């Protein structure tokens, strides 16, 4: 997807240019409430886009910079270490957009990708269903062809940012008589189309980031089909591979910075009190640090695969499973230090920001579900990497 760019700067020069820009730009303060966070991060994405920091490893034809995944990783590292947030449109940037770039028609790329990159259009991913999440190929949402339109009926769930999105990358069954991995098509749906209904779901964090989406006689132009009719499963695997690989790379950097933040908060507290941390504090921080370092080693292998041009594979499931376990262990270890004050939002036990760490801990509980459950990842690893029999 990324062409060779012989004019690409060295990683050292690129890192220096990123640091220089981040030192000069005003970085946004991101509120905890969902609507405020969305608005701020959307403006931030536009600022990054205008400055040339969006689509770093995308092809130039798609509006990207044509650089390598290593350059993208450098930018993610420097962004996190500068205390700057990620842009809001990561489902489009990391997940859906690369598949449109790879499989989409010239018209789809020219029309959709510039607005995706800038954040003018936010995307959601219509894959999981109430009874077809872990076993995605059993999905029941239907799309029948009538003239030059698809008519779509069905329901999706756990659809992040659907209530804020302008577009949805939808998987629908277009041949009900085909085997379950066949007869699925990848269709782009304008979320303002009549018949699309979005119902936000309240998470344990108090946010409404996930949604149910209902499709009732939704008419979509056949030109919104990505790739060939009934050939959407392979495109879905490309999308999921990008999601698991890119997401793991980015989150690993964020976890490293989070552990550093926790250590700094604890260090400041104990320096001010004149006390030393006890064994429990050291053990919990050590668990968090060790987990993140293990994931960092795993992401190096992921980067090697990306640099070698390898597409989605069963190794993406190793990445996702490693991320699940690291995220939950890390945030649990830090939140345990809050003790009974974890639900007191303005408390700072041991100098730790209770509101921040508790919310991160709550969100981390979903890590073993979103983007493919841990059970599914273990099955993929067992069957495709270890050669174990099904069941």
For residues 386 and 371, give the distance between their C-alpha atoms in angstroms, rounded to a whole number. 22
Q: What is the pLDDT of residue 294?
A: 92
* Within-domain flag for 4: no
Q: Rounded to whole angstroms, how far apart are CA atoms 236 and 245?
A: 14
262 and 376 part of one domain = yes
Q: Is 243 annotated as catalytic? A: yes
Which pLDDT belongs to residue 316?
81
User: Of the residues 129, 209, 243, 265, which is catalytic?
Assistant: 243
Residue 102 reports pLDDT greater than 50? yes
Are 222 and 245 in the same domain? Answer: no
What integer pLDDT is reported at residue 245 of this predicted model?
59
pLDDT value of residue 41? 96
Query: Whole-angstrom Cα distance, residue 77 to residue 151?
Result: 44
Across the chain, mean pLDDT equals 90
Q: Is residue 307 part of a domain?
A: yes
Q: Indicate whether 351 and 287 sit together in one domain.
A: yes
Domain assignment present for 180: yes
Residue 391 lies in a domain: no
pLDDT the model gives residue 246: 63
Q: Does residue 1 fall inside a structural domain? A: no
| Sign of the torsion formed by the C-alpha atoms of 160, 162, 165 and 167 | positive
Do residue 341 and residue 226 come from a single domain? no
Are 153 and 209 contained in the same domain?
A: yes
**What is the pLDDT, as a whole number, of residue 53?**
95
Are 249 and 320 part of one and the same domain?
Answer: yes
For residues 155 and 283, membership in a common domain is answered with no
Does residue 8 or residue 350 have the better pLDDT? 350
Whether residue 218 is found in the same domain as residue 243: no
Residue range 264-278: average pLDDT? 96
CB 159 within 8 A of CB 213: yes
* Residue 6 included in any domain: no
Whether residue 5 lies inside any domain: the answer is no
- Where residue 92 sits, what CATH number does that domain have? 1.10.540.10
pLDDT tens digit string along 138-171? 899 999 999 999 999 999 998 999 999 999 999 9
303 lies in the same domain as 181: no
Confidence check: pLDDT of 210 > 70: yes
20-29, 300-309, 378-387: range with highest mean pLDDT: 20-29
Tally of structural domains, the chain: 3
Contact 190, 215 (CB under 8 A): no
Residue 218, pLDDT score: 98
Distance CA 133, CA 156 (A): 9
**Parent domain of 92:** 11-118
pLDDT at residue 1, rounded to an integer: 43
Q: Note whether 47 and 140 are same-domain residues.
A: no
The mean pLDDT value for 253-269 works out to 93
Residues 262 and 338 in one domain: yes
Whether residues 275 and 357 fall in one domain: yes
CATH number for the domain that contains residue 129: 2.40.110.10
What is the sign of the dihedral through the CA atoms of 337, 77, 116 and 57?
Answer: negative
Give the CATH number for residue 251.
Answer: 1.20.140.10
Q: Is the pLDDT of residue 277 over 70?
A: yes
Domain's final residue, options 118, 137, 170: 118
* pLDDT-wise least confident of 101-105, 127-131, 266-270, 286-290: 127-131
pLDDT digits (tens, 9 = 90+) for 30-60: 987 889 999 999 999 999 999 999 999 888 8
Model confidence at 278, pLDDT cuts 50, 70, 90, reads very high
Domain end residue (candidates: 178, 209, 230): 230
What share of the chain in percent tops pLDDT 70? 95
What is the residue-wise DSSP string for 309-355? T--S-THHHHHHHHHHHHHHHHHHHHHHTTGGGGG-TT--GGG--HH
Of 86, 118, 150, the position where a domain reaches its end is 118
**E strands within 202-245?**
210-221, 225-226
Residue 2 lies in a domain: no
Collapsing DSSP to helix, strand or coil, 199 comes out as strand
């Amino acid at each position: 997807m990324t062409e060779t760019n012989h004019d690409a700067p060295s990683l050292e020069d690129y890192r220096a240019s990123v640091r220089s820009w981040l030192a000069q730009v005003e970085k946004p303060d991101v509120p905890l409430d969902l609507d405020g966070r969305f608005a701020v991060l959307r403006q931030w994405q536009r600022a990054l886009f205008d400055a040339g920091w969006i689509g770093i490893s995308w092809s130039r034809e798609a509006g990207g910079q044509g650089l390598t995944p290593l350059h993208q990783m450098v930018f993610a590292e420097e962004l996190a270490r500068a205390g700057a947030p990620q842009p809001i449109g990561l489902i489009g940037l990391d997940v859906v957009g690369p598949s449109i770039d790879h499989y989409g028609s010239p018209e789809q790329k020219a029309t959709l990708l510039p607005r995706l990159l800038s954040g003018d259009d936010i995307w959601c991913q219509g894959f999981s269903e109430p009874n077809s999440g872990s076993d995605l190929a059993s999905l029941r949402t239907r799309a029948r062809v009538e003239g030059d339109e698809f008519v779509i009926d069905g329901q999706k769930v756990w659809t992040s940012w659907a209530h804020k999105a302008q577009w949805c990358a939808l998987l629908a069954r277009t041949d009900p008589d085909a085997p379950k991995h066949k007869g699925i098509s990848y269709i782009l749906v304008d979320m303002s189309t009549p018949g699309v209904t979005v119902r936000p779901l309240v998470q344990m964090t108090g946010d409404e980031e996930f949604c149910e989406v209902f499709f009732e006689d939704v008419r979509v132009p056949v030109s919104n089909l990505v790739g060939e009719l009934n050939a959407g499963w392979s495109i879905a695997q490309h999308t999921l591979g990008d999601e698991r690989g890119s997401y793991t790379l980015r989150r690993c950097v964020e976890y490293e910075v989070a552990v550093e933040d926790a250590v700094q908060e604890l260090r400041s507290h104990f320096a001010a009190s004149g006390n030393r941390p006890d064994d429990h504090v050291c053990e919990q921080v050590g668990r968090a640090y060790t987990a993140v370092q293990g994931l960092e080693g795993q992401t190096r292998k992921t980067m090697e695969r990306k640099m070698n041009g390898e597409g989605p594979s069963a190794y993406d499931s190793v990445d996702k499973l490693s991320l699940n376990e690291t995220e939950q262990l890390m945030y649990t270890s830090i939140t345990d230090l809050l003790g009974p004050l974890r639900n007191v939002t303005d408390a700072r036990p041991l100098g730790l920001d209770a509101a921040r760490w508790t919310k991160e801990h709550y969100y981390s509980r979903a890590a073993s579900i979103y983007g493919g459950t841990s059970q599914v990842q273990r099955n993929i690893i067992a069957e495709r990497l270890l050669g174990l029999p099904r069941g």
